[in-house]
Amino acid sequence: MTLAIFDLDNTLIAGDSDYLWGQFLVDQGIVDRDVYETANARFFEDYKQGHLDIAEFLAFALKPLSAHEPEQLYRWRAAFIRDKIEPILLPAARTLINRHQSAGDTLMIITATNRFVTEPIAELYGIVHLIATTPEFRDGRYTGRFEGTPCFQYGKVTRLNEWLDEHKVSLHGSWFYSDSHNDMPLLEKVSHPVAVDPDWILHRHAMKSRWPVISLRGDECPYHHLNRVTDRPQSIGFK
């Protein structure tokens, strides 16, 4: 089994689903605009700078789930996916996913954003295996807390290792695509790390490490040159 692993936010979609979910809640009047927008922007900046307190952020991000019945949350989520996510799906991402799928690879999304938000996005891309931060669900409601290890930075490695042990597979020949320097711990673990529209810290590291640097923001997948998805993609060059 060869794994093709994808980060989600700003990799397979042209935006951050966690941040956009927060903005959707603001736009719908579900949360207080001034308080929530200020906190959401601060956490997003902390994430970009690499010093996000993930426990503090999750207490903030998951709290709205605990305040409403699941049925209402699912209705809001359906509107969120339609209005905020579908417009930022990337055709080149679909092409890349299809190429790995055609090669017989096992596809996976691994993301710090919680499963409530990301599960329907993985479904839009036809990816079955999703490792995401898990919101706690007890007695028919979300509690506002999380279960297990948050799927962030080294937590992604931990969560993936748990999955590998459960499924009795290894990272031999594996690929991982990400935009963020927060994912460098996992990028260092796979056989084929690929930086996708990377932030400047990841871009610098990728150049130093001679990892491929690609963009999925155009209408054509950068891998259209390759005969086989398993080819090492240096032939497409670097940014």
User: What is the domain partition of the chain in residue ranges?
Assistant: 3-236
Which pLDDT tens digit goes with each residue over 107-134? 999 999 999 999 999 999 999 999 999 9
In CATH, the number for domain 3-236 is 3.40.50.1000
Q: What is the pLDDT of residue 44?
A: 85
Pick the catalytic residue from 7, 18, 179, 183.
Answer: 7
Q: Is 7 a catalytic residue?
A: yes
Choice between 234 and 78, residue whose per-residue pLDDT is larger: 78
Active site residue 9: yes
- The label of the residue with tokens 């339609």 reads 82
For every residue of 118-170, DSSP letters joined together read HHHHHHHTT--EEEEEEEEEETTEEEEEEESS-SSTHHHHHHHHHHHHHHT--
How far, in Å, CA of 81 to CA of 98, rounded?
22
pLDDT category at 145 given cuts 50, 70, 90 is very high
Helices (H), the chain: 17-27, 33-49, 54-66, 70-80, 91-102, 115-124, 154-167, 184-187, 200-209
Q: Which of 9, 18, 179, 183 is catalytic?
A: 9
50 pLDDT tier (thresholds 50, 70, 90): confident
Give the residue with greater pLDDT, 66 vs 231: 66
The whole-number pLDDT of residue 224 equals 39
The closest alpha carbon to 39, from 58, 17, 14, belongs to 58
